[in-house]
Amino acid sequence: MIVCKFGGTSVGDADAIARTAAIISARVDRQPVVVVSALGGATNQLIQIAEQAAKGQLIGALRAVEGLRDRHIVETHRLLGNDAQAEDVASELSAMFDELASLAEALTTLGDLTPRSLDAISSLGEQASSVLVVAAFAKHGLPATHVDAREVMITDSQYTRAEPQADAIAEAAHRIVMPLMRAGRIPVMGGFIGAALGTGVTTTLGRGGSDYSASLVGAALQAEVIEIWTDVDGMLTADPRVVPDARLIHRIGFEEASELASFGAKVLHPNTIAPAVMKGIPVCVLNSRRPEGTGTLITFAAPRRSVTAIAGKSGVTLLRVRSPRMLLTEGFLRRMFDVFERHRTSVDVVATSEVSVSVTIDDATNLEALVIDLRALGDVTMERNRGIVSIVGNGLSDGGTSMSRALAAIGDLRVHMLSLSSSGINLTVVVDGQQVHPVMQRLHAAFFSAGAEAT
């Protein structure tokens, strides 16, 4: 069996849902289980409705509820026509939006938005999309059956970021999903949502959680592969807005993908697919607008390449702490990182020498107080407008040639700091913010241009 997950843009409207049905039609033999996101943008709107209602702006909230209702009903009729079956689906969906309107009114009365009520509201997007997709599949002749995700995706009760309970999920998946597949049905469920163990109260797995749902279901059922259908061709060797000849990565290691995650490569966050990848289940990222593409396959063991991708970001702040006292003293790093923890500041890249430590920080909004505390440990300098470029490849440290080729490609552009990850697969350089793009372009040319030695 396989798991096919469709993100918000792949179920965004009737045309997208029809393409999704065609993709599943081509996979019936492989026993697909389908996981869907809310219609693109719906979750954001639901959260806004909840916030508005709790602030007492009931009229605006209710207007937004009607907007969402209309969108769902319009797409329902576009997909299903106007027969009795279409009316049934439309009224089932409409009832969900009645419930949403009552929830909004209750929030306005209470004037308070708890994580639990936020989940009750934000989960409605997937509750609705899954019902609509099942009906659309049936219309396309697919034997689809709706599965209420809350019966399968069992979690703890940390609302808005609930922790899945793998054993309970495996048990429920075998009890509920497996028999449907054996009977030749195509189970369809909403991603992102679950229910708390014991109480059954609706929870969510956190924003973007549908990938996580797909991975958990795939792991529970030992899927052959998990397909994540989205609106891009897969992961690329660089951001195509910076490097126009960036190429599709056909296969990438889970660790490599994780190293790239902090660069806003919004395709998917590898951690969300960890449950599957850890079990040896490959995850494939595919474009639902171009289903004939091969996509990117993420596996635990990937081909060894010196460079798989180059990523960069600017707007980074570099802090250097220099202390002669650090020489041969233990506990210096602990004291220093205590300061970062106290100021809730997360550090990205670190390099140390005998007497100094350099770190980069992404969010430089509240650094003044932090710097005052750091000064107790040594001389501190702060350099704003830096950028970082990472060269990621699981064979990067094999031999020395790739590393020297990378440094040669950077050439005369100034490097402020350099760090090689402990696994040796990520070489990060800190450069001037405005040099991020040229450095990425030079590196990409050195490793991927036609003339570059095959990697």
Residues that bind ligand ASP (CB under 6 A): 7-8, 37-38, 43, 125, 191-192, 207-210
> CB under 5 to 8 A by kind: which of Mg ion, ligand ASP, none does 31 bind?
none
Q: State how far the Cα of 34 lies from the Cα of 21, in Å rounded to an integer.
A: 10
Q: At what angle do helices 124-139 and 58-80 cross, to 10 degrees?
A: 10
Q: Are 333 and 432 in contact (CB under 8 A)?
A: no
Query: Which residue, 207 or 342, is less far from Mg ion as judged by CB?
Result: 207
Residue 354 tokens, joined: 């005998």
Q: Are 135 and 176 in contact (CB under 8 A)?
A: no
Query: Which residue, 194 or 393, is less far from ligand ASP as judged by CB?
Result: 194
Min CB(269)–ligand ASP separation in Å: 10
Query: Which residue, 187 or 209, is less far from ligand ASP as judged by CB?
Result: 209
Min CB(172)–ligand ASP separation in Å: 20
Min CB(226)–ligand ASP separation in Å: 14
Q: Which of 452, 124, 454 is nearest to 305 (CA)?
A: 454
Q: Which part of the chain contacts Mg ion (CB under 5 A), choosing from 1-9, 100-108, 303-311, 356-364?
A: 1-9
Min CB(274)–Mg ion separation in Å: 15
Q: Which of 238, 257, 256 is nearest to 248 (CA)?
A: 238
Min CB(21)–Mg ion separation in Å: 20
Report in angstroms the alpha-carbon separations of 423 from 163, 256, 279, 368, 400.
28, 10, 21, 33, 15
> CB under 5 to 8 A by kind: which of Mg ion, ligand ASP, none does 435 bind?
none
Q: Is 160 exposed, middle or buried (0-12, 13-18, 19+ CB in 10 A)?
A: middle
Could you identify the residue written with the tokens 């049936």?
138
Query: Which residue, 123 or 306, is less far from ligand ASP as judged by CB?
Result: 123
Could you identify the residue written with the tokens 């949403």?
100
Q: Which of 208, 315, 395, 438 binds Mg ion (CB under 5 A)?
A: 208
Please tell me what DSSP assigns to residue 164: B
Min CB(192)–ligand ASP separation in Å: 4
Query: Which residue, 175 or 207, is less far from ligand ASP as judged by CB?
Result: 207
> CB under 5 to 8 A by kind: which of ligand ASP, Mg ion, none does 38 bind?
ligand ASP
Residues near Mg ion, by CB under 5 A? 7, 208
